[in-house]
Structure 1
């Protein structure tokens, strides 16, 4: 797309000036961030926080403990996150992978090449591109742009990309037109989520939007 780099940077600068830094992703450890990325599928962050707090109270928020924890018990602890039986299985799948391939350490995973890690994550049952990329960017600090429904909504509303375009197409728009920078990708994605929640809803609220007229 002609001028895509300039437009993307312009959108980012407007959002950053208006909202300021978003301090994403909330989490005390890379493992906690990865767990949050899996639990946040199809729910809001408030529900995820309750589930993570339950795991902390039970001292289960680490790979070895979750690996040993029966799925039924895990389901009860993360009940607030919704779809708890499904998400318990996904967490168990992720932890089994982490234990097997990286001895349960996120630091060991971080040391591997980004494309290799991404391929392995996508091979874990229940982890799709958005979750895999959230783990890569926010937990492992790899320069991978996360695409979600909010990102698609904002960019399509401003004629940067057709809403029905593929995940990869949206991601390439960022990767091909912005410098590969973890901090930039982190902040930009968080800002897109913020403006989407406040303005680019199902019924758009353009008044007061920092991107009005872009």
Structure 2
């Protein structure tokens, strides 16, 4: 069964490579993954503009939680997110802020450590694993749930069961997983919106159109 790969190929043919994650550095990507929780990317971009002069680990380390919260105010839930970033920094510091050190960790161990950070759930942990540490992993977000449900899939309710069901059918290819998440997000913005625009949809012929 290659349905998940077929969906990927149709999306990739239609939209082309997305070149994600939208960030200038890997560190900016990690911070963006926390900032985007419960908000739109547009708001994250505003927060990142404020953060730009400070986007280095040793600089963020020295900023107080209160100062950080004010800088990321546009992202919403800024007090909570400032604490989450600080918690993440405490973890990252144990690896001397060295991405290459982190990449040497066993993937199961790494995921467990990320999930142990306060405020880092499975989706954020997997986004960081995929886009910062080059671990091929399928990201289950609201967009993936919406699209697969409308296509006719009855996916598991739990995050990891959903993730594993998709992963087992896909080749363990970093670029594929990188693009798959980005393509699902793009598709949700262009066609598979809350109120879908089915005309011209690249998945129309394989979609059961469950709303």
Q: TM-score, normalised by structure 1?
A: 0.92
Structure 2 counterpart of 1:119: 112
Match in the other structure for 1:146:
139
Structure 2 residue aligned with 1:212: 204
Q: Determine the structure 2 residue equivalent to 1:168.
A: 160
Deviation of the 1:114 alpha carbon: 1.1
Asked if 1:199 is matched to 2:196, the reply is: no
Match of 2:209 in 1: none
Q: Tell me the alpha carbon deviations over residues 70-104 of structure 1, each in whole angstroms, 9 at most, x when there is no partner.
A: 000001111111111010000000001111x2112
1:184 to 173, 176, 193: 176
Map of 2:121 onto structure 1 = 128
2-structure distance, mates of 1:196, 1:178: 21
Aligned to 2:56: 62
Matched residues in 2 for 1:110 and 1:193: separation? 26
Are 2:124 and 1:91 aligned? no
SS in 2 for 1:177: coil
Please identify, of 199-208 and 62-71, the stretch whose mean Cα deviation from structure 2 is larger: 199-208
Deviations 1:161-203 (A, max 9, x none): 34x6211122012211101111000111111111112222222
TM-score (norm 2): 0.94
Distance 1:166 1:203 in 2: 25
CA offsets 1:117-149 (integer angstroms, 9 cap, x no match): 110000000000000000000011111111100
In the TM superposition, structure 1's runs of 4+ consecutive aligned residues that sit over 4 Å from their partners are: none
Task: Select between 16-25 and 105-114 the one with higher mean Cα deviation.
Answer: 105-114
Q: Gaps (5+ residues) in structure 2?
A: 207-211
**Which residue is equivalent to 1:16?**
12
**C-alpha distance in 1 between matches for 2:32 and 2:85:** 10
CA distance in 1, matches of 2:48, 2:101: 23
- Per the TM alignment, residue 160 of structure 1 is displaced from its structure 2 partner at its CA by 2.2
**Residues paired across the two proteins, number:** 206
